[in-house]
Structure 1
Amino acid sequence: MAPVRPSQNDGRSIAQPSSGSSTPSGKDKPSTKRKPTGKPYARKDATNQTPNVVPGVQKIKAALRQTRRLLAKEKLGADVRVATERKQKALEADLVEAERVRKERTLAQRYHKVKFFERQKVTRKLSKIKRQLEESTEKKERKKLEKVLLELRVDLNYIMHYPKLKKYISLFPPEVRRQQPEEEDDGSSEKESRKQTIEETDAQREEIRKMVRGRMESGELSLEPELEDQSARAAKRATDDSIGRSSEAAAGTKGKKGTVVAEKDEFFGEDSGEDEDGDEDMGDS
């Protein structure tokens, strides 16, 4: 038997620390598995969405295809088939809602600028007529101004409460779509077709204005939409200022107190940077 070489620590053995023992510094040995940090996340369903959010159109269509493939199987339990059919009906309803939301978003983005300029124009005209009405003393003139004021308020409600699922028809069509005197005598098919299109568009515009006027008379819409618009914008600015101040405080940024970049409104956007003569006629597309 070969001789055993003596230990260099004078016979003292070094104890190996066990998994539950402490390190020589007195601290616990760090575990190899770390617990997840941060806020708990909401459990998502089969369409990878939170419970209260309508999933996207493509995800719903994918889930519908998977559900229909499952129902196409012959050997499928009765309870599984019933549950799958219920899921299919729910997915079909979600698909209709998702397509409606997507269309609303698309139209809102497309006509955002047109509505913004037209609201600015109508609001300025409203302020001008109201000042003239305050200064006027003649009964006949006041009656005429009141009639113009009512029509402008109808126009403002037209812009603010236009049906979300319809293409927006501009209140102020551009010059290129207005008939010129020399074009009226031209009997070409192109000019006749253009004239017919303009007449149809005017008829649709007046139909929607008539609907808005009826809702105003019934009390469904405000009789003074300019006040509603101002209060909504003031509330939005206050909210944006509050969010901006809290964000600056959290990030430790330096700058003017209360100076924030407001988020764009879904329909109307920002109201800064527009002068009296800077508006232009926008057409329906």
Structure 2
Amino acid sequence: MAPSRTRDPGPSTQPKPKKARRPKAYHGQDEPTGVPGVQKLKAQLRSVRRLLAKDNLAADVRVETERRLRALEADLEAAERARKERALAVRYHKVKFFERQKVVRKIAQTKKKLARDGLRGSERKELEGALAELRVDLNYILHYPRLEKYISLFPPEVRLGEVPPPEQAKEKAKTDKRRAELRARIRREMEAGELGGEPELEKGGRARSDHERSRGEGRKGGEKRGRAEKKGMEDDFFAGDEETDGGGGDSGSEFE
């Protein structure tokens, strides 16, 4: 019996699985929100200005191009402002988070003391004044100008009792003055009702915000990494909270 011939199956007709594409890295061409980024806007501005430099440009085209130029300049200013806000928010996120925790803790301690029975009038008045200043501090942290470098309420030299060297005295005085101005402005806005009088009860005044939870702080994968270092930072930062009941004060220097 002759051997039977089998047909060569040839190449498989099944489609090959597509490889998962990696997300493109963000290089400043577009903002994460989908708005054109700074570099792309600058490139568009150069193109528009080259077009306007032409002598034989039609009048209607020139008018439209000038309108486009003004719109691009406004978009660029907004994009640069947003980029600066984002950079400062990332830079000072940790110190603001710790300071907010510290102030919220001090507010809770002061309110607990005010709830005690048998307080003398002078003691109650003193505690109420301290509570008012702490609430100013909390609003200071929550509503600090987003385009300015953050000036800490509890800078390291104050927490550790260090005396800054004489060559830094001028810069420290400038920083102290700016902090006092901002706290005075916050106090006026609270008195006018523009800011909440009890910021610790608002969503933004919580020691740990929903935004921080969404960023995954404390996830299981990162709990062990840096735990000892973080614990040491917290112990240093919150040292003396039980003994100190006053506000943040107006001393210290800018947190870098």
1:159, 1:235 → 2: CA distance? Answer: 13
Decide whether the 8 Å contact of 2:110 with 2:131 is kept in 1: yes
Instruction: Give the one of 159, 162, 168 matched to 1:194.
Output: 168
**Is the Cα contact below 8 Å between 2:138 and 2:199 reproduced in 1?**
yes
1:46-67, Cα deviation, whole Å (9 max, x unpaired)? xx979x9531111100000000
Structure 1 position 205 matched with structure 2 position 162:
no
Alignment RMSD (CA, Å)? 3.2
Relative contact order, CA 8 A, sep 6+: which one is greater? Answer: 2
The answer to whether the 8 Å contact 1:154/1:209 transfers is yes
Q: CA 1:172/1:139 → structure 2, altered by over 3 Å: closer, same or farther?
A: same
Letter in 2 for 1:142: R
- Residue 234 of structure 1, CA deviation: 9.1
Is residue 227 of structure 1 aligned with residue 209 of structure 2? no
| Residue of 117, 123, 129 corresponding to 2:104 | 123
- 1:138-159 residue CA offsets vs partner (Å, 9 max, x unmatched): 2211111000000000000000
Task: Sort the Cα spacing of 1:113 and 1:196 in 2 relative to 1 into closer, same or farther, 3 A.
Answer: same
Name the CA distance, whole Å, in 2 between partners of 1:175 and 1:233: 24
| Contact 1:114–1:283 (8 Å) recurs in 2 | no
Letter aligned with residue 263 of structure 1: S
Partners of 1:215 and 1:101 lie apart in 2 by 25
Contact 2:88–2:149 (8 Å) recurs in 1: yes
Q: CA deviation at 1:222?
A: 0.3
Please say if residues 142 and 204 of structure 2, whose CA atoms lie closer than 8 Å, have aligned partners that are also in contact: no
Structure 1 residues 115 and 235: alpha-carbon distance in aligned structure 2, compared to 1, 3 A threshold:
closer
**In structure 2, do the counterparts of structure 1 residues 206 and 107 end up closer, same or farther at CA, with 3 Å as the change threshold?**
same
Kindly tell me the number of residue pairs found equivalent between the two proteins.
201
Given the two structures, how large is their TM-score scaled by the length of structure 1? Answer: 0.62
How far off its partner does 1:262 sit? 3.2
- 1:161 lines up with 2:143 in the alignment: yes
> 1:175: Cα distance to partner?
2.3
What are structure 2's unaligned runs of at least 5 residues? 1-28, 239-252
| Aligned partners of 2:30 and 2:38 also within 8 Å | no
Residues 60 and 116 (structure 1), Cα distance of their counterparts in 2 relative to 1, 3 Å cut: same
Whichever residue aligns with residue 280 of structure 1, its letter is: F
- Equivalent in 237, 242, 246 of residue 280 of structure 1: 237
Between the aligned partners of 2:148 and 2:101, the Cα distance in structure 1 is: 21
| Runs of 4 or more consecutive aligned structure 1 residues displaced over 4 Å after TM superposition | 176-179, 230-235, 272-277
Q: Which ranges in structure 1 are unaligned for 5 or more consecutive residues?
A: 1-47, 184-190, 238-260
Q: Which amino acid is 1:149 matched to?
A: L
Q: Where do residues 85-124 of structure 1 align in structure 2 (5 Å cutoff)?
A: 85-124=66-105
Point out the more displaced range, 211-220 or 76-85: 76-85
Contact 2:142–2:205 (CA under 8 A) maintained in structure 1: no
- Residue 262 of structure 1 aligns to which amino acid in structure 2? R
**CA deviations over 1:184-218 (Å, ceiling 9, x no partner):** xxxxxxx3321121111111111100000000000
Alpha-carbon distance in structure 2 between the residues aligned to 1:160 and 1:235: 11
- In the aligned structure 2, how far is the partner of 1:167 from the partner of 1:230? 20
Asked if 1:171 corresponds to 2:153, the answer is yes
Alpha-carbon shift at residue 229 of structure 1 (Å): 3.3
Greater C-alpha radius of gyration: 1
**AA matched with 1:224:** E
Go from structure 1 to structure 2 and tell me whether the alpha carbon gap of 1:232 and 1:78 turns closer, same or farther (over 3 Å shift). farther
User: What are the residue-to-residue correspondences of 1:247-262 with 2, within 5 Å?
Assistant: 262=213
In 1, are the aligned partners of 2:190 and 2:196 still within 8 Å (CA)? yes
Q: Which deviates more, 153-162 or 67-76?
A: 67-76
Closer, same or farther in 2 for the Cα pair 1:117/1:233, shift >3 Å?
A: closer
CA distance in 2, matches of 1:208, 1:69: 44
TM-score, normalisation: structure 2 = 0.69
Percent identity among equivalent residues?
51
